[in-house]
Amino acid sequence: MHRLAIVLFSLACLSPAQAQVAMPAEIKPLEYIDAKRLADADEMSVTGPAHQAMLAAQAALLDAGVVECSLGKPQKDFSGFTIVMALDASGKVQRTWREGGSPLAICLQRYVRDKVVFIPPRAPFHTSLAISFTK
């Protein structure tokens, strides 16, 4: 306890410039390609019945999103796209990344924000929805 008080007192005595050096550097934002790599690795780590449940949850989210984003809105751009999501421990989407700029892709990215996908084995957990209209 005495050591903690000394450390706290020492930090309080630092000048603003010294305090900045003592603080951790700002975390660099994650780019799409890095988020996709994390999603691929995280998804591959899920096996057995949990993998099937993950795929079913992703399909349900995608189906609901497509209905929300395209019902009554004829689509003209059928280019493929991928949406990567970072989930918290409860499975709620905390952050998204997108590759592809079609109106459907943009709408689906907005749709999945704050949705609960599935309860992942760890957090953060990255997962993706890859949509192709040619495969």
How crowded is residue 55: how many other Cβ atoms within 10 Å of its Cβ?
13
What's the whole-number mean pLDDT along residues 9-14?
A: 43
Average pLDDT of the chain is 85
Q: Which domain holds residue 106?
A: 29-131
Q: How confident is the model at residue 72 (pLDDT cuts 50, 70, 90)?
A: confident
- Please report the pLDDT score of residue 4 as a whole number: 38
Report the percent of the chain where pLDDT is more than 90: 70
Read off the tokens for 107.
Answer: 């709408």
Judged against a pLDDT cut of 50, whether residue 17 lies above it is answered with no
Q: How confident is the model at residue 19 (pLDDT cuts 50, 70, 90)?
A: very low
- Please report the pLDDT score of residue 91 as a whole number: 98
Q: Does any domain span residue 23?
A: no
Q: Does any domain span residue 13?
A: no
Q: Does any domain span residue 111?
A: yes
Q: Does any domain span residue 4?
A: no
Q: Does any domain span residue 55?
A: yes
Q: Does any domain span residue 14?
A: no
Q: Does any domain span residue 65?
A: yes
Q: Does any domain span residue 2?
A: no
Judged against a pLDDT cut of 60, whether residue 37 lies above it is answered with yes
| CA geometry: angle 69, 133, 125, nearest 5 deg | 65
- Please report the pLDDT score of residue 76 as a whole number: 87
Judged against a pLDDT cut of 60, whether residue 58 lies above it is answered with yes
Judged against a pLDDT cut of 70, whether residue 10 lies above it is answered with no
Residues 6 or more apart from 108 whose CB is under 8 A from it? 62, 65, 66, 69, 81, 83, 129, 131
pLDDT tens digit sequence for 79-126? 999 999 999 999 999 999 999 999 999 999 999 999 999 999 999 999
- Provide the domain count of the chain: 1
